Structure formats: C-alpha cells, structure tokens
Amino acid sequence: MRSSPKSKLSHDAIKAWRVSLSIFILFLVLGLFFLWGYKLLSPEAGFFSMWTLIAITVILIVITGLGIFFIPEIRWRRWSYEVDEHEVDLQSGIFIITRTLVPIKRVQHVDTRQGPILRSYSLADVTISTAATTHRIPALNEEVADQVRDRISKFARLAEEDV
C-alpha cells in the first residue's frame, strides 16, 4: 500500500492487549477445567467425548500462544494513524489490512475511553464518530490521546459542517 500514516500507538499497547486477552482466556480456561472435571468424575454422562475435549484444549492452547505472543506484536506494528486538518487516516489489521479515511468535516464527536487495564498502563482509546460509523484508535498514551482528541475536535470545529 501507499505510504502508511505516520503516528504509531503507544508501545505499552502490546502489554495491555496481552493482559486483557489473558484475562479473557482465563475465563475460557476455567470453563474448560469445569468440563474436564465433569468428564473425569462421570465419564459416562457428559455431552462431549474425550476427543472433543482434547481438541478444544489443544485449540485453546494454540490460540493462547498466538494471541499472547504474536498477535499483539503484529497488531501494534500494523496500527498507525494520522490526523490533519482535512482527514483522519487509519491503518490497521493483522491479516486483512484496512485503510480508513474519515474526513474531518464528517466527525460528529470524539471521545477518549479508558478501561481498568488501559488505566493501569496509563493508556486510553480515542473514539471518532460520524453520522454513519464509529472508529477507534486504541491504546494511546493518555496525554497523546487527549491531544489527538482535542486536535480532531478543533479541526472539526474549524471545518464547515454540512451534514
């Protein structure tokens, strides 16, 4: 593709993504433990055969490995964004690369969001809404996120709105 947008996400994004994915996977693992326990205690009952369970476990391990060690890194490398007075330009995607362009004029509102995990790394998401779509720049440094938000909203105010 043509030259990527210039700004990158915060490097801490990788850690934050790893943590949030780990938490999610923890729930799945708990569920899996429950199934295993059920299977081992009463081998005859259960809706799953042993092989299904083993397959599920293997798949979960593979997903965990990929999701924690590789995906966040690649995702971070692919993510970039750029904001100027005419447009917001985003690039993202692990397999499918998406280049999104939002004319500043169309922006209806911008906000920053922060969940507990992001907060512990002092990161924040910036969400950009138009009349039709919502776009997210994930995991920026808090200060950067505030700057980006203020910039977009300033440019949006300057641009003549018409829809």
**Positions that interact with another protein (CB under 8 A):** 1-2, 86-87, 93, 95-103, 105-106, 108-109, 130-133, 135, 160-163
Shorter beta-carbon distance to another protein: residue 41 or 163? 163
Rounded least distance, CB 138 to another protein, Å = 17
Which sign, positive or negative, has the C-alpha torsion 51, 54, 60, 63?
A: negative
CB of 77 within 8 A of CB of 70?
no
- Least distance (Å) between residue 61 CB and another protein: 25
Closest CA to 60 of 94, 93, 95, 21: 21
Of residues 137, 123, 54, 41, the one with CA closest to residue 90? 137
Q: Report the residue number, 16 or 126, with the smaller CB distance to another protein.
A: 126
Q: For another protein, give the closer residue by CB, 135 or 149.
A: 135
